[in-house]
């Protein structure tokens, strides 16, 4: 148990090691490719996006966010999960040029597997199935009581969340994005399974996750109030996130149509 009243910033070096390894691999791959093809190198914006994604992962898996979510509040855990699935993966994808990943597709088995898992229906199903299963009380409670299971839970969230973002942010034409209308529908549908899971949590009449029932209380929240607030955080901010994303995609689609019409008029 970590005592938050003592302050400080707890660091879990296994996460730091993994994040440093990802950053070193990114820089090494960029350096090797830029020597072979000087015209292709990650832009400053891509560097910033990737580094910010790693920083977000560090801050969500260490320090107060980690301590509150693991030892005190279910609400904190829901905030952590939203960050792990809705913030870090899109930043990492936006920061990764397609050419950095393309050599992996030269292996036929890898290419076939990548095409399968990044297909919109599969990507949608994988993420939402993982989300739902890990919030079932037996699975969630196992993650709370066994650290190794908790690590697996977070890794599955990160991997399937990254896959779920692929139809929206793919950096590779070989594994293409959906069309703008398809992206809008996909974003809207992403709210539905999350809503079902949230309703299950919010309207439960008893504490689903015993680890939080025996945890020290913060901010005057009872275990059941904490559980309901956590469910609402998944439900409302999580849903609004995808509604906002749908709106952004709509405006991008409208802008692209205006550009196409302007180009057609100039050509005519």
Closest C-alpha among 57, 52, 44, 46 to residue 18 = 57
The tokens describing 52, both together, are 């910010």
Closest C-alpha among 189, 178, 191 to residue 237 = 191
Long-range contacts of 100-107 (CB under 8 A, 24+ apart): 100/26, 100/29, 100/30, 100/33, 100/42, 101/171, 101/172, 102/172, 102/174, 105/172, 105/174, 105/175
Closest C-alpha among 177, 164, 149, 169 to residue 50 = 169
- pTM of the predicted model, to two decimals? 0.91
The tokens describing 14, both together, are 């296994």
Query: Is the pLDDT at 57 greater than 80, yes or no?
Result: yes
Task: Provide the Cα torsion 101, 105, 110, 113; round to 10°.
Answer: 90
DSSP 178: P
CA distance readout (Å), 233 to 184, 199, 200, 227: 22, 11, 13, 10
Write the pLDDT tens digit of every residue in 138-186.
999 999 999 999 999 999 999 999 999 999 999 999 999 999 999 999 9
CA–CA distance, 50 with 177 (Å, rounded to integer): 19
Dmax over CA atoms of the chain, in Å, equals 72
Confidence of residue 106 (pLDDT cuts 50, 70, 90): very high
Write the pLDDT tens digit of every residue in 195-217.
999 999 999 999 999 888 888 87
CA–CA distance, 155 with 175 (Å, rounded to integer): 22
């Amino acid at each position: 148990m970590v005592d938050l009243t003592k302050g400080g910033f707890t660091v879990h070096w296994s996460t730091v090691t993994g994040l440093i390894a990802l950053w070193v691999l990114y820089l090494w791959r960029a350096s090797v490719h830029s020597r072979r093809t000087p015209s292709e190198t990650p832009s400053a914006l891509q560097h910033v996006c990737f580094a910010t994604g790693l920083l977000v992962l560090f801050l969500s898996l260490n320090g107060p966010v980690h301590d509150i979510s693991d030892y005190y509040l279910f609400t904190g855990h829901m905030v952590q999960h939203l960050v792990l699935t809705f913030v870090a993966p899109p930043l990492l994808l936006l920061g990764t040029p397609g050419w950095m990943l393309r050599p992996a597709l030269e292996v036929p088995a890898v290419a076939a597997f990548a095409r399968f898992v990044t297909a919109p229906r599969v990507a949608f199903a994988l993420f939402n199935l993982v989300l739902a299963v890990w919030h079932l009380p037996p699975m969630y409670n196992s993650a709370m009581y066994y650290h190794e299971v908790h690590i697996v839970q977070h890794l599955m969230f990160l991997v399937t969340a990254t896959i779920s973002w692929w139809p929206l942010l793919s950096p590779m034409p070989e594994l293409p994005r959906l069309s703008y209308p398809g992206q809008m529908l996909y974003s809207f549908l992403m709210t539905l399974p999350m809503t079902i899971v949230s309703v299950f949590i919010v309207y439960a009449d008893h504490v689903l996750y015993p680890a939080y029932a025996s945890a020290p209380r913060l901010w005057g929240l009872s275990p059941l109030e904490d559980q309901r607030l956590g469910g609402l955080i998944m439900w409302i901010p999580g849903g609004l996130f995808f509604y906002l994303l749908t709106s952004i995609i709509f405006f991008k689609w409208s802008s692209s149509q205006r550009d196409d019409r302007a180009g057609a008029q100039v050509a005519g």
